[in-house]
Amino acid sequence: MRSGGMVLIVALWILLALAGTVLVFGRSMRVELLVSANGLASLKAEWIARGALQLVVSQVDSMDGDSILPGGDLTWEAVPLGEGYFWVISRGNEEGSGPVFGITDESAGINLNSATPEMIYMLPGMTDELAASIIDWRSSSEESTPGGAKSEYYLLLSPPYQCKSGPLETVEEVLLIKGASMDILFGEDGNRNGILDPNENDGSETAPPDNMDGILDRGIYDFVTVYSNHANVSGQNEDMVNVNGSDQAGLRELMGGIVDSARLSTIMNLARRGRPFQSVLDFYARTGLSMDEFERIAPNLTVGSRGRTLGLVNVNTAPREVLLCLPGLDEADVDTLMDYRASMDLTGRTNISWVAGALPLDKLSEAGGWMTARSYQFSADIVAVSGDGKAFRRYRAVIDGRSSPPLVISFQDITGLGWPLDSGIISNLKKGIAPGSALIN
Ligand SMILES: [Ca+2]
Ligand SMILES: [Ca+2]
Ligand SMILES: [Ca+2]
């Protein structure tokens, strides 16, 4: 947040300085007026983007682990703010359906800092070489894995650099890693808007290269993250019961409230023999709970320190490509999971128990340790334009909602990628025609 604020302040000073320079050195009155008007438009776009960021932060603050926006009032498309408008482009759109607006759940992606080599390899378009090299890039080990690379490789490049040997801080950092390319990371979506733009379907005539097949071939960018993190989540249920704990009184009390004493002793026996459990889904799979029983107690269960905290994948929001990366899940499993999901109202659905009905027990045990139904990190691709259409700004912000107020952990200027929406919006604004407007509550 602070560094984001600093970036903005610095950017504003630069703008003011530029405007001042022009006033001093402008060669004609016309040029002078034109440039200072554009400077003012830039300033407005900048502050609209900043205001939009505050709205996103307050939205994340209200979600409390939920990853699904409540329907209805809230929209992120052509929102009037100050003397202009903003949009938040979501990464969640399906093929060819045009842009989708909203904030993006970072737990819907594979976390490159924690996923296994096998999971990373399952990403669309991934190569053996890059998967191995990502593992080596983040690993503190001195040894490289087959196909991977440590500093010996990077120090021979021009310019030379060291292997990171630590976690990635941005997804774009992948481009520093052996075997990476713009093509693998971004695919044909050069301007990262999730839409097939004309230059992304004209072959090599204009950048980026593409196969002219009328379909946006995506890179891994839309399916990966470096931010998803469930460690030290505050505000979680305080009387959580650790199914791996040595004292099972809590579990006995919790179960005793919903089953009779004969069933209670059966389940307690299976729980004792089954320990340790890798996830609450693993607990369900190996204790013979009914779906109904599990649904009632799942929000109160934890597996304690056995539980993974970095890079859990939210089964409510993850796209098909991401679910396919989870250990043990094949195409048929993912189809079933997605059919189940489509048939449910997921609003407020932070209870993971629905997954138990969608997968065979052995798959729940295997993949369950990577699954969650709660999310805390979100990103927002903010596009802000001045009301006269003369200037726009685009930022990608990442917000961590584990604390209140949430923290802005990344604020990246991607204005240089160009105007990412319908060009008619800009030309209309210049003619004084407002974009299809929407109100934010
Ligand atoms: Ca595009
Ligand atoms: Ca092209
Ligand atoms: Ca294509």
My answer on whether 248 and 207 are in the same domain is no
Asked if pLDDT for residue 2 goes beyond 50, the answer is: no
Range of the domain at 301: 241-313+326-372
Please, which pLDDT band fits residue 16 given cuts at 50, 70 and 90? low
Q: Say if 321 falls within a structural domain.
A: no
- Which residues lie near ion ligand 2 (Cβ < 5 Å)? 199, 202, 210
Find the mean pLDDT for residues 257-273. Answer: 94
Asked if pLDDT for residue 295 goes beyond 60, the answer is: yes
Q: How far is the CA of 202 from the centre of ligand 2 (A)?
A: 5
Find the mean pLDDT for residues 415-431. Answer: 95
Q: How far is the CA of 335 from the centre of ligand 3 (A)?
A: 24
Q: How far is the CA of 261 from the centre of ligand 1 (A)?
A: 60
Q: How far is the CA of 260 from the centre of ligand 2 (A)?
A: 66
Please report which ligand is nearest the Cα atom of 196: 1
Please report which ligand is nearest the Cα atom of 189: 1
My answer on whether 426 and 394 are in the same domain is yes
pTM to 2 decimals? Answer: 0.88
Please report which ligand is nearest the Cα atom of 205: 2
Which of 98-112, 133-147, 148-162 has the lowest average pLDDT? 98-112
Please report which ligand is nearest the Cα atom of 199: 2
What is the model's pLDDT at position 17?
53
Q: How far is the CA of 80 from the centre of ligand 1 (A)?
A: 24
What is the model's pLDDT at position 22?
47
My answer on whether 57 and 131 are in the same domain is no
Q: Say if 113 falls within a structural domain.
A: no
CATH classification at residue 216: 1.10.40
Q: From 190, 223, 256, give the residue that closes a domain.
A: 223
What is the model's pLDDT at position 91?
81
Asked if pLDDT for residue 358 goes beyond 70, the answer is: yes
My answer on whether 218 and 160 are in the same domain is yes
Q: How far is the CA of 173 from the centre of ligand 2 (A)?
A: 24
My answer on whether 389 and 298 are in the same domain is no
Q: How far is the CA of 90 from the centre of ligand 3 (A)?
A: 20
My answer on whether 289 and 366 are in the same domain is yes
Q: How far is the CA of 217 from the centre of ligand 1 (A)?
A: 10
Asked if pLDDT for residue 441 goes beyond 50, the answer is: no
Q: What confidence tens digit (pLDDT) does each residue in 164-173 have?
A: 999 999 999 9
Where is pLDDT greater, at 279 or 36? 279
What is the model's pLDDT at position 369?
96
My answer on whether 95 and 133 are in the same domain is no
Percent of the chain with pLDDT over 90: 78
Q: How far is the CA of 43 from the centre of ligand 2 (A)?
A: 32
Q: How far is the CA of 187 from the centre of ligand 1 (A)?
A: 10
Q: Say if 440 falls within a structural domain.
A: no
Asked if pLDDT for residue 33 goes beyond 80, the answer is: no
Q: From 223, 256, 275, give the residue that closes a domain.
A: 223
Q: From 171, 191, 223, give the residue that closes a domain.
A: 223
Where is pLDDT greater, at 313 or 17? 313
Find the mean pLDDT for residues 407-434. Answer: 95
Q: How far is the CA of 244 from the centre of ligand 2 (A)?
A: 54
Q: How far is the CA of 418 from the centre of ligand 3 (A)?
A: 20
Q: How far is the CA of 10 from the centre of ligand 1 (A)?
A: 29
Q: Say if 236 falls within a structural domain.
A: no
Q: How far is the CA of 200 from the centre of ligand 2 (A)?
A: 4
Asked if pLDDT for residue 65 goes beyond 90, the answer is: no
My answer on whether 6 and 85 are in the same domain is yes
- The count of structural domains within the chain is 3
Find the mean pLDDT for residues 24-49. Answer: 75
Round the average pLDDT of the chain to a whole number and report it: 89
Task: Count CB atoms within 10 A of the CB of residue 220.
Answer: 23
My answer on whether 42 and 19 are in the same domain is yes
Find the mean pLDDT for residues 240-262. Answer: 92
Q: How far is the CA of 74 from the centre of ligand 2 (A)?
A: 35
Find the mean pLDDT for residues 222-231. Answer: 96
Which of 51-65, 154-168, 180-194, 342-356 has the lowest average pLDDT? 342-356
Find the mean pLDDT for residues 28-44. Answer: 75
CA dist., res. 54 & res. 50, Å (int): 7
My answer on whether 191 and 157 are in the same domain is yes
Asked if pLDDT for residue 394 goes beyond 50, the answer is: yes
My answer on whether 63 and 148 are in the same domain is no
Q: Say if 95 falls within a structural domain.
A: yes
What is the model's pLDDT at position 237?
61
Q: How far is the CA of 322 from the centre of ligand 3 (A)?
A: 20
Q: How far is the CA of 204 from the centre of ligand 2 (A)?
A: 5
Q: Say if 13 falls within a structural domain.
A: yes
Please, which pLDDT band fits residue 438 given cuts at 50, 70 and 90? very low
Q: How far is the CA of 97 from the centre of ligand 1 (A)?
A: 12
Q: Say if 114 falls within a structural domain.
A: no
Please report which ligand is nearest the Cα atom of 216: 3
Which of 67-71, 303-307, 372-376 has the lowest average pLDDT? 67-71
Q: Say if 67 falls within a structural domain.
A: yes
My answer on whether 32 and 127 are in the same domain is no
Q: How far is the CA of 211 from the centre of ligand 1 (A)?
A: 14
